[in-house]
Amino acid sequence: MTALLIRHARILLPDGEFLVGDILIQQGKIVEIAPEITEPDHTTIIDATGLTLLPGVIDPQVHFREPGLEHKEDLFTASCACAKGGVTSFLEMPNTRPLTTTQVPLDQKLQLASQKCLVNYGFFIGATPENLPDLLTTNPVCGIKIFMGSSHGALLVSREAEIEPIFARGDRLIAVHAEDQARIVQRRQEFKGITDPAIHSQIQDETAALNATKLALKLSKKYQRRLHILHLSTGIEAEFLRENKPSWVTAEVTPQHLLLNTEAYEKIGTLAQMNPPLRSPENNQILWKALLDGVIDFIATDHAPHTLEEKGKAYPNSPSGMPGVETSLPLMLTQAMAGKCSVSQVSSWMSTKPAEAYNIPNKGLIKPGYDADLVLVDLDNYRPVLREELQTKCGWSPFEGWSLTGWPVITIVGGNIVYERGKLNTEVRGKALQFGDN
């Protein structure tokens, strides 16, 4: 592996300050950061004048569909999208086929990922009402995923009597998709026959989200169990957490719940349909405030691709979910450049905090000894999200046409350039992530 010297970059340091200077990478690790570094032998030089160097994004909630649903996405196409979007590590969800609910399908996914993934990878184990022993012993996993609602079949664990034993045994991180399934089922009946996709936000309403978040928090407190609340979507949940969140609980929000709202149904129809659903513009504001105040800890995309053909079905037969890994960083950096937050906050939410929350060692900061998972972004120019440039197999984005800055120019995984100015290096392979005490 050759050494890499990045010159004249605006480097984000762990204290949130920037240094214009050089960074030396050897054996996949950051070795030195200084205003000027003398070039060692056999070094590839990158002139990064005018570009900003950030830690690679760690996306802690994605659905990459392999094995079993490769017509929507697979680990190769998804990881190409990651590389283009500056995402150097991801944590992937268990609703693939077979479901990732025991050691054997986890091993299969790890094997596939080692062959196909351009970036680093980690996987959740999915809870079912029956696999408690597997939840305790399957390795390596970043945590246990519980679909309290919005799922079906074996992965749905919606009743308190089924959920409580999972909180009661073991000490692994539990990540919840918090929606109240009983309420959703009842409201589906009430609103039956309506095909306007905007009804989705009313069926799976704010109360459905709040009920499940409250239940998960109650059980987490009872057992002092490490809990992570996935894709928080409502202001009422955020305000509830503001008053009731213990130190061992974290929460995330998606860029789409910050930047899109129910008005999107008029423009993009079922492409705006996801779980938990988009909410009103007022919710966008409250979620932003909670993120800025630290009530919400970090950002995940919930990248959940479906084909345009599938999305073209009339509601409620259209599937929920939207892709996100190749737009998340520019979306958030565009907000930073508009003054909504700072670039270092974006990096903290998208790299440092996910690494801390999931105990991923040596990632999420630009620091000597840390892994060289990095992204050089251009914060001067704006370019639109174009369908024809997307790498995700599903081939669409809810943000098409949005003019964004902060697009990755170069993405580096383990010291290897995996993406540079529109070109992927598909020879690069990421590694399986390690997790501390999860």
Three-class secondary structure assignment of 109-142: HHHHHHHHCCCEEEECEECCCCCHHHHHHCCCCC
303/429 with CB nearer ligand DOR: 303
The edge-to-edge listing of strands for the beta sheet with 144-147 is: 125-126, 144-147, 174-177, 227-229, 249-253, 298-299
Interaction of residue 318 with ligand DOR, rule CB under 6 A: no
Interaction of residue 94 with ligand DOR, rule CB under 6 A: no
> Applying CB under 6 A, which of residues 23, 26, 63, 404 lies at the interface with ligand DOR?
63
Among 85, 107, 105, residue whose Cα is nearest residue 432: 107
Is 47 among the catalytic positions? no
93/357 with CB nearer ligand DOR: 93
Piece of 36-44, 318-326, 348-356, 375-383 that binds ligand DOR (CB under 6 A): 318-326
The owner of tokens 């928080």 is: 232
Rounded (5°) CA angle 210-211-217: 85
Strands (E), 139-195: 144-147, 174-177
Interaction of residue 204 with ligand DOR, rule CB under 6 A: no
| Per-position x/- string for 142-181, each x denoting binding to ligand DOR as judged by CB under 6 A, each - no binding | -----------------------------------x----
**85 neighbors 57 (Cβ within 8 angstroms):** yes
| Shortest reach from residue 195's CB to ligand DOR, in Å | 18
Query: 10 Å Cβ neighbour count for 387?
Result: 12
Residue 277: in which H helix or E strand, if any? none
Piece of 4-12, 117-125, 319-327, 411-419 that binds ligand DOR (CB under 6 A): 319-327
Interaction of residue 304 with ligand DOR, rule CB under 6 A: yes
256/344 with CB nearer ligand DOR: 256
Piece of 35-43, 46-54, 160-168, 315-323 that binds ligand DOR (CB under 6 A): 315-323
Interaction of residue 95 with ligand DOR, rule CB under 6 A: yes
| Shortest reach from residue 112's CB to ligand DOR, in Å | 18
Q: Which amino acid is at 136?
A: L
Query: 10 Å Cβ neighbour count for 187?
Result: 18
Piece of 23-31, 125-133, 261-269, 317-325 that binds ligand DOR (CB under 6 A): 317-325
Task: List all residues 6 or more positions away from 367 whose beta carbon is below 8 Å from its beta carbon.
Answer: 14, 30, 33
What is the C-alpha end-to-end distance of the chain, expressed in Å? 31
Could you say which of 302, 371, 373, 378 is catalytic?
Answer: 302
| Per-position x/- string for 246-275, each x denoting binding to ligand DOR as judged by CB under 6 A, each - no binding | ----------------------------xx
Q: Which residues bind ligand DOR (CB under 6 A)?
A: 63, 95, 177, 274-275, 302, 304, 319-321
